[in-house]
Amino acid sequence: MRPESASRPFAARGFALPRVIMPTDLDRVPDPLPSIARLPAGSAVILRDRGHPDRAGWAALLREATLAAGHLFLIANDPDLATAAMADGIHLAEADVGRVPPLGFTTAACHSLEAVRRAEIAGADAVLLSPVFPTASHPGGRVLGLQRARAIAAATVLPVYAMGGVTPAKAQLLGSGFAGFAAIAAFA
């Protein structure tokens, strides 16, 4: 059971879980605004790009675009910017889970069952589990594979989003054990 989150279940706080989450990568997709317009209704967008020189400007643009489209908006690893941009929550890198407190709808990047367990204890609302499939951004890198990812998703009470090499076509292979999927280039 999620100690902190059990008392603040996501759905009870007035949100519905998105089926699709789109993290930004401004190097690979320099203008994510058209992609946001193509997302299914009720999706979520995560502003990553920690080192971007105009991250605050992008936060304002993405907040406006996600409000207009009816999507959730999260900011990765920066509670101050998330608060300033009136984001719906925060996304935590695996290394920040347990160090940065939950804020609104809180998702966590996880690459193992152990990381998922830390996210449960830290009060995350959902996890992005990766990489499920081989990915263009990390060619030749370690991959969980669908079977292992399914086992991890089945071992937690948290909603799990498959990420890494997931396309809308591959999302059909995931099955019912996932809350949805997260993808960067699939909507570019």
pLDDT at 7: 39
Q: Is the dihedral of CA 181, 185, 14, 108 positive or negative?
A: positive
Residue 38: closest CA among 26, 20, 55? 20
Q: Which class would CATH give 17-187?
A: alpha beta
Can you name the residues that pair with 46 across neighbouring β-strands? 23, 74
SS3 assignment for the chain? CCHHHHCCCCHHHCCCCCCEEEECCCCCCCCCHHHHHHCCCCCEEEECCCCCCCHHHHHHHHHHHHHHHCCEEEEECCHHHHHHCCCCEEEECHHHECCECCCEEEEEEECCHHHHHHHHHHCCCEEEECCCCCCCCCCCCCCCCHHHHHHHHHCCCCCEEEECCCCHHHHCCCCCCCCEEECCHHHC
Q: CA 154 to CA 150: how far, in whole Å? A: 6
Q: What is the pLDDT of residue 13?
A: 53
Query: pTM for the full model?
Result: 0.91
* Predicted pLDDT at 78: 96
- The parts of the chain modelled with pLDDT lower than 70 are 1-15
pLDDT of residue 80: 97
- Position 151 scores a pLDDT of 97
pLDDT digits (tens, 9 = 90+) for 114-158: 999 999 999 999 999 999 999 877 777 899 999 999 999 999 999
